[in-house]
Chains A and B, each alone.
Chain A
Amino acid sequence: MIFGLSIVFLLTAILTVAGAVAAALLKNLVHCALSLTVTFAGLALLYLQLDAQFAGFSQILVYIGAVAILVVFAILLTRGAGVPEYRGYSTSWLLGLVIAAGVFALLGWAVVKSLPAASPASAAPAITVQSIGAALMSSYVLPLEIVAVLLTVALIGAVIVAMPESRKHDVEQGGAK
């Protein structure tokens, strides 16, 4: 126990933050994507420590399994793997850094000021995957349907946006003939 925190939490938090910092600083884009994966895994471990098993495994499935792979695919499709990034930082990087530091100072001040120094230890909520599924199918069925429609529309839209446009011109020319 260090500062009243467990060693496991400290290691996980350091892993998470170190992955995010590496994603911010590394030159090679593929390395950035891999350190982003480390951050996602660290966040999943933090969810597991918070007794949110379903959210933790959803995080691993959705972020490490889908989003990180998508990012790697996008990086490899838009440029070669071994090419070092040309001028990695914006010209106004100092201003951006100051804004980010200010936001962190504000958030940290709010967290430290607004929370009581010693919160009563609450018992771990007894939530099973079965109860989550039952709630999704009963009281949360409307948000579930809306999210399903949103995901369908977003994926179809992403495919249409990323599709080559020359095919459409071919179809139009074919129709004109």
Chain B
Amino acid sequence: MTPLTAFLMVAALVFAIGLAISLTRRNAILVLIGIELMLNAANLNLIAFWRFGSHASGHGDGLTGMMFAIFSIAVAAAEAAVGLGLVIAYHRHSKTTDLDAMTRMKG
């Protein structure tokens, strides 16, 4: 097994676990945790392809994959802030974070 394959398999495993968390857990915060795990798996893919890809022969300065991962981290941070703010706002209205009990958005 080459190192690139190993890193991609770890990323696929983390992505699948994040998807399983998002689909099976009932707490809204845990669903957000699952989404964070999926974003992290995508970042690991980007960094692995950047490291083992042919960055010397491509155009530019060989930084594209790294930059993609850095911007992805920034966007994921914004997503976490907005998502957790929404969960807190919903909890203030209806005192629950249970997704099966969240049936209406109007306060």
Closest beta carbon of chain A to B84's beta carbon, Å: 4
Q: Kindly list chain A residues whose C-beta atoms are within 8 Å of the C-beta of B47.
A: 46-47, 50, 52, 55
- Binary flags per residue of A61-99, CB closer than 8 Å to B gives 1, else 0: 011001100110111011100000111111111011101
Q: List 25 A-B contacts (CB under 8 A).
A: A3-B1, A23-B17, A23-B21, A32-B33, A47-B44, A50-B48, A50-B50, A52-B66, A54-B70, A58-B70, A70-B80, A70-B81, A70-B84, A71-B29, A77-B88, A89-B24, A91-B100, A96-B22, A111-B12, A112-B5, A127-B63, A147-B75, A150-B78, A155-B78, A161-B82
A contact residues vs B (CB 8 Å cutoff): 3-5, 9, 13, 16-17, 20-21, 23-24, 29, 32-33, 36, 39-40, 43, 46-47, 50-52, 54-55, 58-59, 62-63, 66-67, 70-71, 73-75, 77-79, 85-93, 95-97, 99-101, 103-104, 107-108, 111-112, 115-119, 122, 124-125, 127, 131-132, 135-136, 139-140, 143, 147, 150-151, 154-155, 157-159, 161-162, 164-165
Of A63, A78, A112, A115, chain B has the most CB atoms within 10 Å of the CB of: A78
- Binary flags per residue of B1-43, CB closer than 8 Å to A gives 1, else 0: 1111111111011111111111111110110111011001001
Contact B14 A16 (CB under 8 A): yes
CA A63 to CA B9, docked complex, whole Å: 22
Contact A43 B40 (CB under 8 A): yes
* Nearest 3 Cβ contacts at the A-B interface: A96-B23, A104-B16, A154-B78
CA A165 to CA B99, docked complex, whole Å: 22
Contact B7 A50 (CB under 8 A): yes
Contact A17 B14 (CB under 8 A): yes
Q: Kindly list chain B residues whose C-beta atoms are within 8 Å of the C-beta of A4.
A: 1-2
Q: Kindly list chain B residues whose C-beta atoms are within 8 Å of the C-beta of A151.
A: 74, 77-78
Closest beta carbon of chain B to A133's beta carbon, Å: 11
Contact B30 A32 (CB under 8 A): yes
Q: Kindly list chain B residues whose C-beta atoms are within 8 Å of the C-beta of A85.
A: 27
CA A50 to CA B7, docked complex, whole Å: 9
Q: Kindly list chain B residues whose C-beta atoms are within 8 Å of the C-beta of A131.
A: 61, 63
Closest beta carbon of chain A to B23's beta carbon, Å: 3
Please name the residue on chain A nearest to B13 by beta carbon: A17
Q: Kindly list chain A residues whose C-beta atoms are within 8 Å of the C-beta of B50.
A: 50, 52, 125
| CB-CB under 8 A for A135 and B9, given A20-B37, A164-B92 | no
Please name the residue on chain B nearest to A3 by beta carbon: B1
Please name the residue on chain A nearest to B23 by beta carbon: A96
Name the one of A67, A96, A107, A124 contacting B80, with C-beta atoms under 8 angstroms.
A67
Name the one of B3, B17, B40, B87 contacting A74, with C-beta atoms under 8 angstroms.
B87
